[in-house]
Structure 1
Amino acid sequence: MTGGLQPLEWMFFDTMLRLRPQEKLDERIVIVGIDEKDIQWVGQYPVPDEKIAELLTKLETYQPLAIGLDIFKNVPVEPGAEQLARVFQKNTNIIGIEKVLRPGEIPPHRNLPPEQVGFGDLVHDNDIKNRRYLLYTTNPANPKNEKEDKYSLALRLVSTYLDAKGINGGAGKNDPNTIMINQVELPRITKNFGGYVNVKNDGLYILMNFRNNSQPFHVVSLRNILNDKNDEVNQKLLRGRLVLIGNRNMSAGDIFYTNGVHTLELKGVIYGVDYHAHVISQIISTVIDGRPMLGSWGDIEEYTWIVIWGFLPIIIGRLTQSVRRNVLSVGVAGVCLFSCGYIMLWQWGIWIPVAPSLLVLAVNGVGLSAFAFYQHDKFLRSQINERQNTIQNTFHVIHNGPLQTLGYGLKHMRSKDIPYEQLLAQFEKLDKEIRELGDLLKLQALTEEETLRLGSGLILELSRPLHDLLYEVYSSTLERDSFENFKTLKVKVRNFEPIDDKYVSMEDKRGICLFLEEALCNIGKHAQGAKRVQASGMYAESKYKLSVKDNGCGIKSKLENKGTRHCQAVAKKLGGEFRRESISSRGTICELTWIPTKNFRF
């Protein structure tokens, strides 16, 4: 709609034109090209009027239908100016050129009447490539005078040829602003036409349908005509034909750019006289031979076409249900799309939108595939993380629950210092804890409830405030009878300041609660002789410190067990620090410190 895809659409258009099968040479048009060897032969450039007059006179002896002189003759080139003027006055089938488009208008030769003048202006697109041809326009110097319509060189020559065949033209029926010849309307380039958006519309433009051939027309040189060589051949070649005379040398600068023909003498460059010849051949071939002109759909048809190709990859994605198959199917659909555009252009002369259709196909196909792949990968990662969390949580439940009960029972089995009935009760408790653990894991697999099971068997709702959870962990852990060191405690101090829930997620709460449980369990297992335990959580210099202190025997081993590594992992996830060390006098401190605002989640 904004024209952003025009360059891409033009590229596809040029490519499809080049891919068409080669066409036969058009015998109706002959080009007399003035090449570099002609200039050397003449010995003067520009070629003097004398030689041009001599050339025109010689050509007239071969009885061509009309001669188009694609050389500006507004300024005399002596010698021979008067001689050329007499030739123009004598022969009414010679069409000269002028330039009418601004800037730089160039008038025709003064001895040519208006009906023997056609403009030679060629219009290029924004990429400097020539794909359009202006057939007629209102004189820019006098736009309000309808009688001042200007006709192109090609249209003048086409009219002469068709009049000789008894074929007349007029205004179009479906589009009164175009020309209809022999019931064939020439498709006019409108404001939005094919791949064009907001194109300048100051006359009747048609789209170029180049004749795809390494030699689309017969080309003879100026010296070949003037040397009186091959008169019989030239007579047969030129009689009743349309003859175009123009420069076919680089020094003249009469060159234009196109990628629509791959068999050009110079890649991407076409001579101006050849360009006019292609237009003449295009119109005559359409009217007489049925060769299609190039047109386009209306806006409704084009938008419908684009929307269809937008929905197609969505349907493909539904059917394939596979990223790889979807990308492959979209690739095949893209080839089919380009093929449809090519066939429509080649067989019926319809330029359909390929670039926007291909873009929406790629975005909805590859883009949705990439999104689906991302979502699938994200789902797999979430599943892996969920399983890892389940395994980790299971380890903590087993470590702080059944394993502690088992360790307590094994210790007293070896020392044989408790009655059999009491030992049996411990193992019955272990059996119950393991069974409860299995039920808990089944429940967590079936529900998304955010809960935490402590080693004591207590299940906490993680949606509760963190400080309430810490109180629950503290009380529940110290009440466990499987830790003998808890029995010697005389002083128990606890104080947990609240933290706003927006600063901690449920996973953070889980890790913090397990840290506190692990720290307390370590006291129960290793703090022999401890009489005092202090658990606190408080703010200090914008940091929250959660610490557990005891006055037991202190740390005896520097090896890091799984519990210590878990505490370190919790600290890393919170962006904080963890330390566990002996106190100088007596006892151990286990501390987790972090800045709550760092974990703020919007």
Structure 2
Amino acid sequence: MVGLFVGIAVLLLRMTSVLEPWELLAYDWSMKTRPSVRALDSRIMLIGITEQDIQAMGRWPLTDATLARALDKLLQHQPRAIGIDIYRDIPVPPGQKALESVLATHPNIIMVMKFGRDAHARVNPPAVLRGTDRVAFNDLLLDRDGIVRRGLLFMDEGEESASSFALRLAIQYLQAAGITPQPDLVNPQHLRLGQTTFRPLEPNDGGYVGVDARGYQVLLDYMGTSRPVPSYPLSTLLAGQIPGEAIQGKIVLVGVTATSVPDVFHIPDSSGLVGDRGTVYGVLVHAVMVNQLLGAALDGLSPLATLSEPQESLWILMWGLLGGLIGYLGRSTVRFVVLTISGLMLLSLIAQTAMMKGWWIPLIPPA
């Protein structure tokens, strides 16, 4: 009975979100130690606008002429999709007409906007693409500790809805394989790509307690990112020094990788992506999400999943009862210590094995 009361007390404590930071740290540790299951090197490549590029041009942002020239260089090698992770709500002369011409005539180019939660936070897409399906939002979600663990597929604010940058690029790429977004056969409100269904994140899934789950959110799977996405500086592209096979048939993301432009984010530690300051550039986070969507649609790799709330409660209560049993059997100090350590090791093994299989189960409350 003591174990049951302890389990109930832990469940009540968990509802206050006191344990959430520790659960997220445990999740990060599991993510870091989980073996790689996919690689960021076969379908995606990156053109990074580096600090050296900006210094050589002597200005930021890029002019419309420079951006149009970069797009022309990419289009020569027939990429399947091009994603520009740079806002261009306001023209940056010279070259406005040239850029508008390129954007208007090539449907595989996707530009970004910022959806924002209010009008003051919004950034519009280029005027030439407004009202088309070639615009996507690049908003990223931060947890309370500032780490990006969740990604958005859709946002809907009533009068307006939009697709995420990663989802729109994945859809563009998958069209060649005859794969389009479909409703799930069992839950029509859920998105299916290929044979894989993405269940939207709920406020109390995994270690979260009352997280803002508006929009269509999924857990970002950073596994397989031990090898960074192939990337080239903008200057190399403009000089025509990138092999055509590195671009042909790929998704090409163009984004900022310069220290002077504030577009960096914290993610759960993954040695292949995290820089010296524990941050990654925003365009890399989008690359991870694109990779996750393609892996699900083409390779059948399942998204990270969580137990239902009743299942999580039963899991925690079971460990509470086990703790009570350890207290009952551990009459001597030595036996109690041995049984406690053994129980914690078993719990860690189960949680880590579950993560390897793509399941996030609570680790801290049972401990």
Return the TM-score normalized by structure 2.
Answer: 0.91
Match of 2:5 in 1: none
Match of 2:123 in 1: 106
Match of 1:185 in 2: 197
Match of 1:505 in 2: none
Q: Distance in 1 between matches of 2:278 and 2:198?
A: 26
Match of 2:77 in 1: 62
Structure 2 residue 25 is matched with structure 1 residue 11: yes
- Which of 68, 71, 87 is 1:53 aligned to? 68
Give the aligned residue type for 1:17.
Answer: M
Q: Distance in 1 between matches of 2:187 and 2:146?
A: 29
Structure 2 residue 240 is matched with structure 1 residue 228: yes
Residues 137, 228 of structure 1: CA spacing in aligned structure 2 closer, same or farther, 3 A cutoff? same
Residues 117, 196 of structure 1: CA spacing in aligned structure 2 closer, same or farther, 3 A cutoff? same
Structure 2 residue 30 is matched with structure 1 residue 20: no
1:158 deviates by: 0.8
Partner secondary structure for residue 251 of structure 1 = coil
Match of 1:158 in 2: 170
- Which of 223, 228, 231 is 1:219 aligned to? 231
Q: Distance in 2 between matches of 1:253 and 1:24?
A: 27
- Structure 2: runs of 5 or more not aligned: 1-14
Structure 2 residue 176 is matched with structure 1 residue 149: no
Match of 1:249 in 2: 258
1:214 deviates by: 3.9
1:178 deviates by: 2.3
- Which of 113, 137, 142 is 1:119 aligned to? 137
Match of 1:208 in 2: 220
Whether the 8 Å CA contact 2:46–2:252 is kept in 1: the answer is yes
Whether the 8 Å CA contact 2:193–2:296 is kept in 1: the answer is no
Partner secondary structure for residue 137 of structure 1 = strand
- Which of 302, 317, 326 is 1:292 aligned to? 302
Match of 1:517 in 2: none
1:291 deviates by: 2.4
Q: Distance in 1 between matches of 2:267 and 2:331?
A: 44
Q: Distance in 1 between matches of 2:133 and 2:46?
A: 22
Q: Distance in 1 between matches of 2:276 and 2:198?
A: 30
Larger Rg: 1
Q: Distance in 1 between matches of 2:52 and 2:227?
A: 20
Partner secondary structure for residue 129 of structure 2 = coil
Match of 2:103 in 1: 88
Match of 2:331 in 1: 321
Match of 1:537 in 2: none
Structure 2 residue 316 is matched with structure 1 residue 306: yes
Match of 1:338 in 2: 348
Give the aligned residue type for 1:53.
Answer: A
Whether the 8 Å CA contact 1:178–1:204 is kept in 2: the answer is no
Q: Deviations over 1:538-565 (max 9, x none)?
A: xxxxxxxxxxxxxxxxxxxxxxxxxxxx
1:157 deviates by: 0.7
- Structure 1: runs of 5 or more not aligned: 359-602
Q: Distance in 2 between matches of 1:191 and 1:175?
A: 19
Partner secondary structure for residue 282 of structure 1 = helix
More helix by share: 1
Whether the 8 Å CA contact 2:64–2:98 is kept in 1: the answer is yes
Whether the 8 Å CA contact 1:306–1:357 is kept in 2: the answer is yes
Match of 1:258 in 2: 267
Partner secondary structure for residue 185 of structure 1 = strand
1:50 deviates by: 1.1
Report 1:480-559 matches (<5 A). Answer: none
Structure 2 residue 154 is matched with structure 1 residue 136: yes
1:200 deviates by: 1.4
Partner secondary structure for residue 357 of structure 1 = coil
Give the aligned residue type for 1:73.
Answer: R
Whether the 8 Å CA contact 1:211–1:282 is kept in 2: the answer is no
Q: Deviations over 1:443-484 (max 9, x none)?
A: xxxxxxxxxxxxxxxxxxxxxxxxxxxxxxxxxxxxxxxxxx
Match of 1:350 in 2: 359
Give the aligned residue type for 2:122.
Answer: E
Structure 2 residue 293 is matched with structure 1 residue 283: yes
Give the aligned residue type for 1:30.
Answer: M
Q: Distance in 1 between matches of 2:277 and 2:347?
A: 28
Partner secondary structure for residue 151 of structure 2 = strand
Return the TM-score normalized by structure 1.
Answer: 0.56
Residues 37, 215 of structure 1: CA spacing in aligned structure 2 closer, same or farther, 3 A cutoff? farther
Match of 2:10 in 1: none
Q: Distance in 1 between matches of 2:20 and 2:187?
A: 25
Give the aligned residue type for 1:223.
Answer: S
Identity of aligned residues (%): 33
Q: Distance in 1 between matches of 2:259 and 2:342?
A: 44
Q: Distance in 1 between matches of 2:186 and 2:212?
A: 21
Indicate the RMSD between aligned Cα atoms, in angstroms: 1.6
Partner secondary structure for residue 236 of structure 2 = helix
1:275 deviates by: 0.4
Give the aligned residue type for 2:364.
Answer: A
Partner secondary structure for residue 46 of structure 1 = coil
Q: Deviations over 1:422-450 (max 9, x none)?
A: xxxxxxxxxxxxxxxxxxxxxxxxxxxxx
1:173 deviates by: 3.6
Q: Distance in 2 between matches of 1:80 and 1:314?
A: 72
1:287 deviates by: 2.1
Whether the 8 Å CA contact 1:20–1:212 is kept in 2: the answer is no
Match of 1:76 in 2: 91
Partner secondary structure for residue 240 of structure 1 = coil
1:84 deviates by: 1.0
Q: Distance in 1 between matches of 2:40 and 2:295?
A: 11
Number of matched pairs: 348
